[in-house]
């Protein structure tokens, strides 16, 4: 269900923070997620990682032992950069980082309603997902379910498009009310002149002609927290990396 990769070598979140304006916004206003509550929904996270200690996650409802993918996704959004500043996330000072293991989602309607309950423990403004059901080119009942969830719940949900290099995508990404995220290769440089899609991330348009994905970001070389130890970092990518980057910027918009 997950779509991402790890590799050794250089790369950093600093470029992701620089190219889209997070560093500039922090330099002039100090915005790093203060007041923002949001959820990463993924396989599981290494909760003992050094980057997650200063601002620990609240689990909704629980974690999972499958931490290989979610640790990196979560770090892109909420990582503090304590162990390595190049891996600092976009919302290190979020008011409340939330994590949900997708394996524990027995009722996604109820789960989403809990996220936005003004009297509840979470009160989130967005959720980001770098996973989904089997790829398809069509708007399915799963897509329709997501649209229904979003129609009835006032929350922004980000969804990875997937990594097929074709129009085959997660059915959730074809939903009309969801914000779908694609990707392009930046080759670990700040320059845009060498950027290339290069048949990597899944693309649109949807089967009915709608423009998808809605936004896109780095497909490659995103340096972030890694699950192998409490101090590990590694490169991450795919639309699994592009989606939490985009969601992190969504959090900064909410803060503004």
pLDDT digits (tens, 9 = 90+) for 28-78: 999 999 999 999 999 999 999 999 999 999 999 999 999 999 999 999 999
pLDDT tens digits, residue range 181-192?
A: 999 999 999 999
pLDDT, position 5: 55
pLDDT tens digits, residue range 111-126?
A: 999 999 999 999 999 9
Q: Residue 4 — very low, low, confident or very high, per pLDDT cuts 50/70/90?
A: low
Whole-structure pTM value:
0.96
Phi, psi dihedrals of residue 11, rounded to the nearest 5°: 125, 150
């Amino acid at each position: 269900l997950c779509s991402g990769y790890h590799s050794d070598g250089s790369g950093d979140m600093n470029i992701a923070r620089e190219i889209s304006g997070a560093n500039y916004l922090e330099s002039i206003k100090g915005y790093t997620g203060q007041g923002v509550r949001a959820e990463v929904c993924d396989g599981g996270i290494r909760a003992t990682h050094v980057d997650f200690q200063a601002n620990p996650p609240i689990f909704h409802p629980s974690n999972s032992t499958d931490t290989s993918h979610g640790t990196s996704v979560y770090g892109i959004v909420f990582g503090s950069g304590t162990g390595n500043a190049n891996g600092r996330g976009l919302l290190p000072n979020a008011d409340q980082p939330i994590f949900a293991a997708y394996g524990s989602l027995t009722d996604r309607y109820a789960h989403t309603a809990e996220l936005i309950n003004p009297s509840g423990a979470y009160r989130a403004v967005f959720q980001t997902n770098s996973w989904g059901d089997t790829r398809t080119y069509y708007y399915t009942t799963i897509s329709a379910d997501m649209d229904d969830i979003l129609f009835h719940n006032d929350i922004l949900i980000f969804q990875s498009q997937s990594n097929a290099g074709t129009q085959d995508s997660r059915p959730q990404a074809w939903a009309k009310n969801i914000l779908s995220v694609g990707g392009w290769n930046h080759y670990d440089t700040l320059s845009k002149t060498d950027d290339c899609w290069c048949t990597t991330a899944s693309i649109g348009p949807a089967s009915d002609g709608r423009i998808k994905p809605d936004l896109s970001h780095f497909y490659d070389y995103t340096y972030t927290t890694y699950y192998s130890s409490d101090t590990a970092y590694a490169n991450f990518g795919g639309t699994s990396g592009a989606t939490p980057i985009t969601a992190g910027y969504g959090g900064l918009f909410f803060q503004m």
